[in-house]
Amino acid sequence: MIFNCLIAGVGGQGTVLASKLIAEAAMRRGFEVRTTETIGMAQRGGSVVSHIRIAPGVPDGAEGATGATRHTSAPDQPSACATGQTAVCIAANAGAPGMPGEYAIFSPLIPTGAAHALIAFEPSEAARCLPYLAADGALIVCDSAVKPFTPGGAGAAPEQPYDAAAVVGYIKAQYPEAAVIDGRPLKEYSAKTLNTALLGAAAQAGIFPFAAGDLLDVISEIRRFREQNIKSFEMGRDLYNEYIRRH
């Protein structure tokens, strides 16, 4: 089947990079992947949502029904994520040998109610994207709020309080099995790598169609903040385990 994963956050949290890392890990395991982002006013702290759709692939070098040929990175070449380029893979209109055609990905956008997983870097963004999540979908959410930007000056509307705990409570009421990750130790260590930490939590939850080690291999090739990203990934895995033990 097609695995649908939605990542939600605000501008500056690394939502798009997280989707590229997932896509790269999936493609290395032979899956076909399509991704897209709805970024809005990302540079001003606005909502950023990334769609990742993963399906069984065709063999390396083989052609799909569309004539698109699948190629993976050569072993001695850096990945697209490591070089800062967008990972691109065109999904063929047929599955792998023995797989029915319904596994083809015709659109990068996840339909409403069809996401198997939602990874949210911020509580309000998780709540905003709940309509995309399937009834039995997995939800990983960081409990640390990012206060929305509001314009100031004369005549500006009074600032409204943002109760992140109330938002998390609403999310848990809708999805009792949601895993709420404590963002305080993650941000204390490195706010820049919160995205890889949440990927670590999601990988530990087993929501991806590949192993946590596959994702860590890709993360290890990021040139900037390499050690911080690796440690944050492992911290995310540990925090997920801690949440499961407490609940």
Q: Is residue 106 part of a domain?
A: yes
Contacts of 136 (CB under 8 A, 6+ apart): none
Instruction: Give 2-23 pLDDT, tens digit per residue.
Output: 999 999 998 889 999 999 999 9
The reported pLDDT for the residue numbered 154 is: 54
In-domain check, residue 156: no
The domain of 7 spans 3-148+163-246
Task: Dump pLDDT digits (tens) for 111-170.
Answer: 999 999 999 999 999 999 999 999 999 999 999 998 766 555 555 555 666 899 999 999
Confirm whether 154 is domain-assigned. Answer: no
Is 164 in a helix, a strand, or coil?
helix
What whole-number distance in Å separates Cα of residue 15 and Cα of residue 102? 29
Distant-in-sequence contacts of 69-77, Cβ < 8 A, 24+ apart:
70/32, 72/27, 72/28, 72/30, 73/28
How many CB atoms neighbour CB 66 within 10 A?
Answer: 12
pLDDT in tens, 56-113: 975 454 444 333 334 344 333 444 444 333 333 333 323 333 333 456 888 999 999 9
Domain membership of residue 202 (yes or no) is: yes
CA nearest 224: which of 86, 21, 82?
Answer: 82
Count of domains in the chain?
1
Q: For residue 42, give the CATH number of its domain.
A: 3.40.920.10
Q: Indicate whether 157 belongs to any domain.
A: no
241 inside domain: yes
